[in-house]
Amino acid sequence: MDVILASSSKRRIEFMNELGFPFRVVPSNVAEFVESYKSNEDLVMQLAKIKALSVFSLNPSSLVLGFDTLVFLDGVPLGKPQNEEECIKMIASLSGKCHTVVTGAYFVSHDYTDNFSSSCKVYMSEIPKEAIIEYSKTEEPYDKAGGYAVQGFIGRFIERVEGDVFSVIGFPKQLVYKKLSLYMKKH
């Protein structure tokens, strides 16, 4: 069975390698836009579905795995900052607060579909303004939802995570492993 990861995320690729299933990477290049959604989970699952289906349409004999991760502060989704100003504003808004991170997944093949989400709460301590400005000048924030990676520079300001820490990283590892294992046994 040909398994495709519809993501160019280095972290997702690393975690897929750790799971031990053969796969290849075909990044989705679709616009990440959803007109309406019912919940945070619904939004990330719709985005994951859009990505998976765009790759599946060109690879109909494969199992395609699509993912999306968003940070939600007071229910408002935070995407990836586009410049230093957005990064500073985004990280400052998260400083000293609790926010939610949700990762959605969508798996599709010619005879199978599945979707699920995983979320957690992230508690962040106050981040000094100088540290935020220093951070905004690095490359790290610009390809990450909410502008940070729990395992990166901002990780030193994370007090605790309630829930699956892999959701923050964008790949609920245990859930993906279980779903892929079941799929592989049946196919």
Distance, CA of 147 to CA of 175 (rounded, Å): 25
Q: Which pLDDT value is given to residue 187?
A: 86
Low-confidence ranges of the chain (pLDDT < 50): none
Q: For position 37, what pLDDT does the model report?
A: 87
In sequence order, which residues have a C-beta less than 8 Å from that of residue 177 and are 6 or more positions away? 19
Q: Give the span between the Cα atoms of 59 and 26, in whole angstroms.
A: 10
Give me the active site residues, please: 68
Distance, in Å, from the CA atom of 25 to the CA atom of 4, rounded to the nearest integer, reads 6
| Collapsed DSSP state (helix, strand, coil) of residue 73 | strand
Query: Per the structure block, which two tokens stand in for 143?
Result: 């390809």
For residue 164, the enclosing domain spans 3-186
pLDDT at 29: 85
Identity of residue 166: F
pLDDT at 32: 73
DSSP state of 32: -
Angle in degrees, CA 67, 85, 94, rounded to 5: 60
Structure tokens that stand for 89 in this block? 């504003």
* Structure tokens, 53: 């289906």
Q: What is the pLDDT of residue 4?
A: 98
φ/ψ of 121, rounded to 5, equals: -105, 140
The total of structural domains in the chain comes to 1
Contact predicate 73/99, CB 8 Å: yes
| CATH number of the domain encompassing residue 111 | 3.90.950.10
